[in-house]
Amino acid sequence: MNPVIKVNSVEKEYKHFHLGPIDFEVEKGTVVAVVGANGSGKSTLFKTLMGLAQPDNGYVQLFGLEEQKQVVDVKNRIGFAGSGLYHAFSQLTVNKLAEFVSHWYTTLEKDYYEHLLNRYEINGKEKFANCSLGTQKKVEFVLAMAHRPQLLLLDEPSANVDMLSQRRMREDLKSFMEQEENSIVISTYIQDEVKQMCDYICILDDGKIKGFFEKDEIRHLWARLWISSLPDQLKNDPRIWKVEEHPLQVITNQLPDIEEELLKCQVDIIRIKRLELDDIMEYMFIFNKKTTNTSGVLLKGDDCNHKNKVKQN
């Protein structure tokens, strides 16, 4: 693997929040979605990746280069949007802001910038502070793209953004990824974005990574099975996450194994249906929070089992 980002045992302590230790790598040419509830540490993670917040422990390596080395060069190759980066400069107009940003994004392409302003219907003469929340998000996105970076770090780029612009963002990210060397780390609440664009999903919960997996692998392994009966030996199996009655059905995160075992026990499998990505993530979160037993639902396992369920990076 050729990592464009390597995060090694990164920790960051705040008064009421602790991030980490976090370890993961982003393979060049891939899109990683960071998902997690509000306050799970996504923005802190992005700030750390971008070098806006220095970790207390551990380090972040970008493009295989050592920290501090060629900082300007590294920054030029990154496009960052989010975390209220431009709030301190909100009295500037959008165009002035772009001019200002071009001091560190030295490769900013004027024509491309103009094209993006048009595309997202942004008035360059408007004061940033006077732009609506959605427009501010679009400005951040445009400024992240305009210098043609190789790595995009996007913290909720589409929050508050209108549908048409969201669609255009998705198109732009798609063409961005046509360059095989390019990579994206994106946090989002929009399921379609995760489903359509991403290769890997990183689940962040309470400042820690609870799972890092390839999208299709997880979709292949998780399923709902309607069965004729549940053999005793599988009743407390950690691979069975949930059992429901009428008609009898189970949810598993290890479909091929469970299927084989059921067939061995001569159980009829009436139907197999794969779960949607958002359902899978919900199960993982419910599991993390140890919320159990609503409406006669049976959840199995404990934290220890959980570690084996989600592929750790």
Partner 1 sequence: MKLPIEVSEDSKEPIYYQIELQIKTLIVSGQLQAGAALPSIRALSNDLSCSVITTRRAYQNLENNDFIQTIQGKGTYVKEVDQQIKTSIKDEVIYTTFKKAYEESKLMGYTITEIKEICDKVFRDQK
What distance in Å separates the CA atoms of residue 93 and residue 233, rounded to the nearest whole number?
67
Q: Does 272 bind partner 1 (CB under 8 A)?
A: yes
Residues in region 7-36 near partner 1 by CB under 8 A: 29-31
Exactly one of 37, 133, 164, 270 binds partner 1 (CB under 8 A); which one?
A: 270
Stretch that binds partner 1, among 88-96, 98-106, 147-155, 265-273 (CB under 8 A): 265-273
Q: Is 29 helix (H, G, I), strand (E, B) or coil?
A: coil
Pick between residue 1 and residue 304 the one whose CB is nearest to partner 1.
1
CA pseudo-torsion sign 209, 215, 216, 220: positive
Q: Does 261 bind partner 1 (CB under 8 A)?
A: no
Distances (CA, A) of 106 to 110, 182, 262: 11, 19, 61
Pick between residue 177 and residue 209 the one whose CB is nearest to partner 1.
177
DSSP one-letter code for 40: S
Query: What is the closest distance, in whole angstroms, from the C-beta atom of residue 126 to partner 1 in the complex?
Result: 33
Q: Does 178 bind partner 1 (CB under 8 A)?
A: yes
Q: Does 168 bind partner 1 (CB under 8 A)?
A: no
Please give the distance of CA 166 from its chain centroid, rounded to a whole number. Answer: 16
Pick between residue 19 and residue 227 the one whose CB is nearest to partner 1.
227
Q: Does 220 bind partner 1 (CB under 8 A)?
A: yes
With a CB cutoff of 8 Å and minimum separation 6, the contacts of 182 are 29, 150, 151, 152, 176
Stretch that binds partner 1, among 46-54, 92-100, 130-138, 174-182 (CB under 8 A): 174-182
Q: Does 199 bind partner 1 (CB under 8 A)?
A: yes
What distance in Å separates the CA atoms of residue 11 and residue 304, rounded to the nearest whole number?
23
Say if CB 183 and CB 200 are below 8 A apart. no
Query: What is the closest distance, in whole angstroms, from the C-beta atom of residue 179 to partner 1 in the complex?
Result: 9
What distance in Å separates the CA atoms of residue 274 and residue 11, rounded to the nearest whole number?
36
Query: What is the closest distance, in whole angstroms, from the C-beta atom of residue 236 to partner 1 in the complex?
Result: 26
Beta bridge partners of 61: 6
Pick between residue 175 and residue 236 the one whose CB is nearest to partner 1.
175
Length of the chain as a residue count:
313
Exactly one of 81, 177, 243, 281 binds partner 1 (CB under 8 A); which one?
A: 177
Residue showing tokens 């996450």: 241
User: Which stretches of the chain bind partner 1, using CB under 8 A?
Assistant: 29-31, 174, 177-178, 180, 195-200, 214-217, 219-220, 268-274
